[in-house]
Amino acid sequence: MRIEGSAYVVDLNRSQQVRNENQQAQAVQGSRPAGRVISIDRVEISQKARELQTLKDEVAAMPDVRLDRVALAKQNLQNGGYRVDPSVLAQKMMDAYGKSR
């Protein structure tokens, strides 16, 4: 049986096989006391999950405010280069109000 998800992949058959191999090795070696079984479980993280985690870490490291964009907006406001079309603004306000209800 294989369990796959966005964050992990587990192959239960392989885990059982590893346990069986360990038990057989213990029986042959006889180094461990009878009745004491050490089980080995194994979980593998998929490559896609590792990539997603890397991307999440990169996004988390980014600042919440893009200072370069803020500086550009300030400069445009001071120079008069930022113009607002009143009809476009009114339409966007109406669209936003209509969607919220």
Domain boundaries, position 99: 65-101
Structurally, the chain folds into a number of domains equal to: 2
Q: Which residue has the tokens 């990169």?
A: 58
Q: Which residue has the tokens 């079309």?
A: 85
Query: Which residue has better confidence, 90 or 82?
Result: 90
Q: State whether 34 and 82 are in the same domain.
A: no
Q: State whether 20 and 52 are in the same domain.
A: yes
User: Would you state the pLDDT for residue 100?
Assistant: 54
Q: State whether 20 and 54 are in the same domain.
A: yes
Cβ(43)–Cβ(10) below 8 Å: yes
Q: State whether 1 and 36 are in the same domain.
A: yes
Q: State whether 5 and 38 are in the same domain.
A: yes
Which of 5-19, 31-45, 54-68 is modeled with the greatest confidence? Answer: 54-68
Residue 32 φ/ψ region, left for φ over 0, alpha for ψ in the -120 to 50 degree band, beta for the rest:
beta
Q: State whether 13 and 56 are in the same domain.
A: yes
Closest CA to 47 of 6, 14, 13, 10: 6
